Amino acid sequence: MSTSLSASTRWWALGVLSLTQLVVVLDGTIVSIALPQAQQQLGLSDSGRQWVVTAYALAFGALLLLGGRIADYWGRKRTFLVGMLGFGAASVFGGVAQSGIELIIARGLQGLFAAMLAPAALALLTVSFPHGKDRNTAFAVFGTVAGAGAAVGLLLGGVLTEFADWRWCLLVNVFFVIVGFVGALLFVAESKADGNNRYDVLGAITVSLGLGALVYGFSLAESGWGEPLTIGFLALGVVLLALFVFIESRVAQPLLPLRIVVDKVRGGAFLIQAVAGSVMIGATLYLTFHLQIVLGMPPLESGLASLPLTIAIMIAAPVVTRLLPVIGPRPLLIAGPLIVAVGLIYLSRITADGSYFVQVLPALIVMGIGMGAIFVPVQNLALTGVASHDAGAASATVNAAMQIGGSVGLSIFTAVYAASVGAPDALGGASRLTAFATGYSATFLAAAVAMALASIVAIFLVRGPKSSLLPQGDLPVLAHAG
């Protein structure tokens, strides 16, 4: 069921929906720049600070599929409006937070409402531009805005943190929410899926608790992998995720139809996307810490210094898009992770007294090229061989894999960092900075190993004739880093 829009109104709707995607993506990076200042002000520990990023990514990724179902069944415009208001309220809560736990809760709530916003916006875009040249243009604009979101977040976070206060990195969302909410009321038509639709509540609960237990278990690993609590939470996470798979195989309208992920090629693409997410969300956070804490860059300079990674991805993506039909996705997904791994290995050579232009910049450019070679084919493989009624769930799954990979990866990298850095607070001056650099270096090496494993996944799982690995038909394919 849907209400048609006039030609001019559709383009206004595109602006509103693109703004939403910008907010959802930039909120993944804007807080990273502000985190060192927020950590100091709120007294967050090194393990606690990672939860400011993890809470957002985990809630977003774990609830994205449920958010899509709510949008389809309850009404996409209605879900969009509620998501907007909730996201704004959570942003204000985070902006006035007086403790680390309040900030972490606010970030989790932001992720929850982002999980309603993102699929609702994509579904509304799909029904507003159902076919033809206008559809291709609309998705190109939407994807470009999404791709720019990370860069906008880094710059805006740097400006607000340096010239105002870290809290404005959250409070600034109120402006976007007001524009998006009013714009949706004026220019977006309601639509929903027809038929007898039922929510897979049990599936949503088990996957959310399972992922949460898994991530918390990894975060406890910094005190020791053999600790009873660490083992207990990791085991609980595995059991709950296994229960989720069992539930999905039994319910009539599953949150995640297993036919989407059991396909070898598509499953491989989701795994590669998860590893890429661990690097883009997890490892790059430690790059921000190195730039600000070790190299002493102010927030704005740190944001600018991080930009070459995003710019390299945006430059590489169109080139990869043209290469994709020529060589197919398999060579790109084998080479791309290895290129990123080379960049990470180079980055792991950082020292406390090193130069950004010698030790960091070349690595970011190489990593960006490799990531561009990953994101485009992965987004395409997510829809290869998928029936039209599963396209939304497949697209949501590849984006959920990015966020979940980021939250799990960040927890693992934090454990690696803690094991490598020792007790830097007991040291002083240059020795303390050297300890930090050693810890960050270890996380980059761990990320390089993860990317090498992603290349192996591509070798063994992404197989078949080139023509069979490319999607057919008029399906939306968004290639972006967010």
- What is the spatial distance between Cα 433 and Cα 294, in angstroms, rounded to a whole number? 6
Q: Which of 296-300, 339-343, 462-466 has the lowest mean pLDDT?
A: 462-466
The pairs formed by 415-418 with CB atoms below 8 angstroms and a separation of 24 or more are: 415/218, 415/219, 415/221, 415/222, 415/225, 416/442, 416/443, 416/446, 417/46, 417/222, 417/286, 417/442, 417/443, 418/46, 418/47, 418/222
Task: Pull the structure tokens for residue 48.
Answer: 């606690």
Span 231-246, mean pLDDT? Answer: 95
CATH of 7-195, one of 3.40.50.300, 1.20.1250.20, 1.10.3720.10, 1.10.10.10: 1.20.1250.20
- What is the spatial distance between Cα 255 and Cα 11, in angstroms, rounded to a whole number? 31
Span 313-322, mean pLDDT? Answer: 89
Least Cα distance to 354 among 428, 433, 301, 432 occurs for: 433
CATH topology match: 7-195 vs 262-482: yes
- Beta carbons within 10 angstroms of residue 252's beta carbon: 7
Domain residue extents for the chain: 7-195, 200-252, 262-482
Least Cα distance to 478 among 118, 53, 176, 191 occurs for: 118
Confirm if 188 and 200 have CB atoms less than 8 A apart: no
The pLDDT of residue 416:
92
Predicted confidence band of residue 290 (pLDDT cuts 50, 70, 90)? very high
Least Cα distance to 402 among 231, 210, 269 occurs for: 269
For the chain, give the mean pLDDT: 87
Least Cα distance to 71 among 177, 188, 186 occurs for: 188
- What is the spatial distance between Cα 333 and Cα 473, in angstroms, rounded to a whole number? 22
The pLDDT of residue 191:
82
The pLDDT of residue 426:
53
Predicted confidence band of residue 262 (pLDDT cuts 50, 70, 90)? confident
Task: Pull the structure tokens for residue 257.
Answer: 């139809």
CATH of 262-482, one of 3.30.70.3040, 3.65.10.10, 3.30.750.24, 1.20.1250.20: 1.20.1250.20
* Partners of 2 in beta bridges: 191
Span 115-133, mean pLDDT? Answer: 83
Angle between helix 391-421 and 46-74 (nearest 10): 170
b/e for 201-229, b at 16 or more Cβ within 10 A?
Answer: eebbbbbbbbbbbbbbbbbbbbeeeeeee
Is pLDDT above 60 for 4?
Answer: no
The pLDDT of residue 423:
63
Span 128-137, mean pLDDT? Answer: 76
The single residue listed with the structure tokens 């939250």 is: 407
| DSSP assigned state of 152 | H
Is pLDDT above 70 for 110?
Answer: yes
Please give the C-alpha separations between residue 289 and each of 46, 167, 436, 439, in angstroms, as whole numbers. Answer: 11, 18, 9, 11
Percent of the chain with pLDDT over 90: 54
Please give the C-alpha separations between residue 244 and each of 205, 216, 248, 255, 358, in angstroms, as whole numbers. Answer: 9, 18, 6, 10, 47
Predicted confidence band of residue 5 (pLDDT cuts 50, 70, 90)? low
